[in-house]
A = this chain, B = another copy of it.
Amino acid sequence: MQEFTKFPTKTGRRSLSRSISQSSTDSYSSDSSDDEVSPREKQQTNSKGSSNFCVKNIKQAEFGRREIEIAEQDMSALISLRKRAQGEKPLAGAKIVGCTHITAQTAVLIETLCALGAQCRWSACNIYSTQNEVAAALAEAGVAVFAWKGESEDDFWWCIDRCVNMDGWQANMILDDGGDLTHWVYKKYPNVFKKIRGIVEESVTGVHRLYQLSKAGKLCVPAMNVNDSVTKQKFDNLYCCRESILDGLKRTTDVMFGGKQVVVCGYGEVGKGCCAALKALGAIVYITEIDPICALQACMDGFRVVKLNEVIRQVDVVITCTGNKNVVTREHLDRMKNSCIVCNMGHSNTEIDVTSLRTPELTWERVRSQVDHVIWPDGKRVVLLAEGRLLNLSCSTVPTFVLSITATTQALALIELYNAPEGRYKQDVYLLPKKMDEYVASLHLPSFDAHLTELSDDQAKYLGLNKNGPFKPNYYRY
């Protein structure tokens, strides 16, 4: 159980997944919260008399419901899944314990699971990311939700515990985002795994932990790795970043893109998305890469591939998308020109060596929310966004439609694991079958009024394919 014994500090320890971000509604919402009583100490009851939840303020349910309804409009794949699967209730009997961000989008997922027959108990995977109104709306609708914005470390584990540990109710499915719920069950309630049919995990970190467990022979139920599914990788990274890089930069700095010189560190899916958007709006983009294949793609796509030092004095914006650490060092920061903007779109908050800027000779000036000017003795200012944390998480929103793709994948993974015949899945980590990836995609096509072509019998035979897919080999790169 060693993999799970190091309790990380909850505060700010784990970056939110790319899929969750500050809502635009935050400032508009009525979350005035001068109310300082801990939710754990409040007695709250929803309109049906239930107290089987713990949220900030059940009275915010109505506002939260509207946010959920707005989200539903861009998550028609889940709504359509509700309709298609409603008759058969493929999750009838499922008792799902979940731990994810609690937002309007995940609420749509949770309510879809319920509509398909499941009972759900839910906590938050991040102490900051809960939308209190949405949690209230879920509680009002009868979901056993235990979460609020600004939980303490202790609150965090208490909420998880309340989900797992309930008399007369034992989970048989786990939906996790980050692995903390899975960890807690492993540590405190290992017997629960006897009934668990499977774990569905979305995050890089959580998946990594599951593979470690598997390698160590300690994974005692099947697990589904949603993180590496095609739809999540291609859509959540490439397209999502294409949308959010502009938004994040505009909201924080109002920078004009036309003619700006930008260096993007890393030309993976995230970098590709950022570069496509910036180039399209008239920026001149340089790339740094360590991988020659990605570098060659950058060349063919019309970007100059350079070492950071070659352009650091001339660029107006520096964006990191590597997943690596110390990609932008103090030395680079020292050489940047006045007003250079520095931000991070990569996986973690380690890419920019922000710590190196916390020295006495530099002055920090907070000029706007999420925007710091770091001022050199000679007056040069570097504009640091979100203190080096994920820009699109901190400073922009993520399209609900993209979140819908991931949420639908999670729902299908749960259905697949719950209904799989004995023996189809061993005590190992699996990718979603390609056919289900294709099904996730097909559920999202009506949003675009897109019409698929069907193979004729003759064509299917010619291609050696089943008419209903899967249409590609597993190694297909899209």
Contacts and interface: CB of A to CB of B under 8 A. Distances in A.
A406 B20 CA distance: 40
Given A277-B281, A477-B477, A258 B300 contact: yes
A18 to B, nearest CB: 14
Interface stretch (A9-17, A87-95, A458-466): A458-466
Contact of A292 (B235, B281, B441): B441
Contact of A462 (B304, B324, B439, B444): B324
A25 interface: yes
A234 B291 contact: no
Interface string A296-337: 111111111111101000100000000111110000000000
A305 B451 contact: yes
Interface stretch (A66-74, A109-117, A136-144): A66-74
A153 to B, nearest CB: 26
A230 B438 contact: no
B463 A397 contact: no
Interface in A215-262: 228, 230-231, 233-235, 239, 242-243, 246-247, 250-252, 254-259, 261
A433 interface: no
Interface residues of A, number: 104
B277 A450 contact: no
Given A302-B258, A475-B228, A292 B452 contact: yes
Given A247-B247, A368-B28, A308 B397 contact: no
Contacts of A450: 295-296, 298-299, 304-306
A455 interface: yes
Interface in A139-184: none
A453 B308 contact: yes
Interface stretch (A30-38, A185-193, A282-290): A282-290
The CB with the most chain B CB atoms within 10 A, among A295, A368, A401, A462, is that of: A295
Contact of A257 (B243, B259, B469): B243
A361 interface: no
A437 interface: yes
Nearest to A310: B451
A293 B230 contact: yes
Contacts of A27: 27, 369
B257 A291 contact: no
A399 interface: yes
A387 B249 CA distance: 26
Given A291-B471, A314-B449, A259 B74 contact: no
Contacts of A214: none
Given A256-B401, A259-B300, A292-B439, 10 more contacts: A239-B256, A246-B281, A261-B449, A290-B453, A293-B441, A294-B478, A295-B452, A304-B450, A305-B448, A305-B451
16 contacts: A73-B338, A228-B475, A230-B477, A239-B300, A256-B401, A256-B402, A282-B302, A283-B302, A289-B452, A290-B452, A292-B442, A292-B452, A296-B441, A308-B453, A325-B459, A327-B459
